[in-house]
Structure 1
């Protein structure tokens, strides 16, 4: 029997269930499924592919040290199914679970059904894949995070040649896509480990407050988010290393704040796994009726950073260039689109997702819905662009760096976007648009029907973490 390990987004050697268990007979092949249609689907982009390729390259080099390598299969899950059936008789398939967009999910579910007992899917991110119980979720997550890390795969003794292209050929085929992406964060397990160590030992100093600033957060945040998305390091590896160093750290408050975010990351991914329809529908279904019209021209100006509000535009230009921006600015960007512009989140969400190198559908979609006021269980919060500009960039130094044409303007004028025709026109009026949004959102929340539905949303998706706070 030959073991077939299929990779998607868990691109690491250590603590990788599919690789570890698939290698135990030392007779295995490793396949990465490259589906071009997937990379063009909802929220996916070449900057994410670039990061993923970095991870694959390092993993391929590591596997070669133990007699293995990554074989690239080009096509869909259905194409891969046909190839496996045509080339193997006695086999067993190993895959790590992945909560992903609809295009992937449909292919993945059919693939699992087609192979049935010849395939095993391993847990990921501490999720409850079956027998979902939100009340027990936190305990289950803690149990998984404290479990022993899985060792490296066994040496591979299978020397048979596979009729698939190898990584270097694949790399040469795809590298032309990345010419205009010089600033995108580099992927790979060694990069992840270096970031982890520098963050836990030094960069975390002041993390709890610095993470709100678009300039300070670039260094003071862990910057591990794309590594979590593509699995170049596991959350369990990070969690356990954090617990090792925490008792000796001078920055315990900051590290405890970071530790909570590991939990919340998985909590949000679980929501999409539990209810895949959230990719296209509001968590509270009544909210889908709030924004029924959209303005493509307005959305285009927003995504390009041409709204007429300097701080917001600077954030969008930074994100476009670098593939990352801190959480508070992400929240402000989405709040502006959903409240001030009053655009449907289903239209703006995938466009914004394409800009994030760390696009994790479960996290992104949950946060988008929270910042759009459509979950039913989170209080609506309309971020003030002017206030965020004053709070996070008081001297407008960061904004001016991104928008040098404003270099000679007083910071106060930049914060309030009072530039007397010297900057592009504003696409909305902040005060009147915020008032309209507030009236609409709170108007729908008053009904008994809304409150009853919100209770159901809480029972399915609400965190119960406080009950188990002593276990983390």
Structure 2
């Protein structure tokens, strides 16, 4: 990261297709006539994506480092503040509009003169650039985590694919307002902050008990900043299939109360709930019928009831996890931690057994 940056080329030149030959036999690999006319690709339509290109990326970077970034450290969790408080540089890094070395050096230059909140926020941001590279390395080391559970014993978890639940989750109709608002925001913008991404995966994996693979593919199709090296390790972490991370079962009611206390985010993205009072906004299924009528939000007509009982479903999820955690589970988890865990804390090498397997995963959490 400290080395000189490569200069951006003024123009790119490409080798003519007719000159591309097999290095082994000297034959043409293919002719222009053999190329497909079109490649089928069906992706959801994102209504308000970020503008692409290097110029746009540089403008976003400069704006973050000189204007928006001061409150980064305290504004990245709530979807209300994250839209402006996060760097919003992930798409430009993922697609190569901005280089990691370029960004790291710009951050460090800015840190030299930073004071107060700026100093703390830029330090926190740079630490996440380290994590960015750490997670990409995980997929480089084990590419099959795109399709297979990192910990093989988690294949035993009871997570059959349920089309009805999956469709409700992917369209923002689970009945949990914070979950649905986050999904609808993502569909509209092609981006949502990390905490909400983690919650979406957690909800799909634990109370809805969906397999993570279709969940992963759908989210990948929505994320403008889709980066495989970040995506698959994070999906598996939040789905509880790594074996080295403490399961995070996000409670959508508590997340809403903490991160959207007045229901502003929920009401903005779920118009069905706009007239529901603060008392019921995060648990509309508890409204008496008379209140539903006055709020013009009839349960299962205007807005769905939750797909499952959250408490009962998460109890079952914990029981399922506990059932696979035998001695073999922790022995395998230890080897996974040694391969994929952070090397930041040397004290981890002195840990043994369950504690070592458990704590090795904690080092990889943001």
TM-score range, shorter chain: 0.7 to 0.9
**Which stretches of structure 1, 4 residues or more, deviate above 6 A after TM superposition?**
none
Task: Provide the C-alpha distance between the structure 1 equivalents of 2:112 and 2:158, rounded to a whole number of angstroms.
Answer: 49
Task: Give 1:381 deviation, angstroms.
Answer: 1.1
Pick closer, same or farther for the CA change 1:216–1:262 going to 2, 3 Å.
same
Q: Which residue matches 1:301?
A: 168
Task: Provide the C-alpha distance between the structure 2 equivalents of 1:462 and 1:359, rounded to a whole number of angstroms.
Answer: 22
Structure 2 residue 301 is the aligned partner of structure 1 residue 436: no
Q: Is the 8 A contact 2:156 2:324 kept in 1?
A: no
> Within 5 Å, which residues of 2 pair with 1:404-443?
404-417=271-284, 418-420=286-288, 421-422=298-299, 423-443=303-323
Task: Provide the C-alpha distance between the structure 1 equivalents of 2:154 and 2:178, rounded to a whole number of angstroms.
Answer: 29
Structure 2 residue 82 is the aligned partner of structure 1 residue 217: yes
Pick closer, same or farther for the CA change 1:335–1:182 going to 2, 3 Å.
closer
Q: Is the 8 A contact 1:311 1:414 kept in 2?
A: no
Q: Which residue matches 1:357?
A: 224
Q: Which residue matches 1:87?
A: 19
Give the match's secondary structure for 1:340: coil
Equivalent residue in structure 2 for 1:231, among 96, 107, 112: 96
Q: Which residue matches 1:77?
A: none
Q: Is the 8 A contact 1:184 1:322 kept in 2?
A: yes
The CA RMSD over aligned residues, in Å, is 2.8
TM-score of the superposed pair, with normalisation by structure 2: 0.80
- Matched positions, count: 319
Give the match's secondary structure for 1:367: helix
Gaps of 5+ in 2: 289-297, 348-366
Give the match's secondary structure for 2:345: helix
Task: Give 1:414 deviation, angstroms.
Answer: 1.6
Equivalent residue in structure 2 for 1:208, among 29, 50, 73: 73
Q: Which residue matches 2:256?
A: 389
Task: Give 1:461 deviation, angstroms.
Answer: 0.7
Give the match's secondary structure for 2:279: helix
Q: Is the 8 A contact 2:48 2:188 kept in 1?
A: yes
Q: Which residue matches 1:464?
A: 343
Task: Give 1:377 deviation, angstroms.
Answer: 0.9
Gaps of 5+ in 1: 1-13, 21-61, 72-82, 90-113, 119-162, 165-169
Task: Give 1:411 deviation, angstroms.
Answer: 2.1
Task: Provide the C-alpha distance between the structure 2 equivalents of 1:179 and 1:342, rounded to a whole number of angstroms.
Answer: 24
Task: Give 1:88 deviation, angstroms.
Answer: 5.1
The structure with the largest strand share of the pair is: 1
Q: Which residue matches 1:4?
A: none
TM-score of the superposed pair, with normalisation by structure 1: 0.63
Structure 2 residue 157 is the aligned partner of structure 1 residue 290: yes
Instruction: Please give the per-residue CA displacement for 1:132-165, whole angstroms capped at 9, x wherever unaligned.
Output: xxxxxxxxxxxxxxxxxxxxxxxxxxxxxxx98x
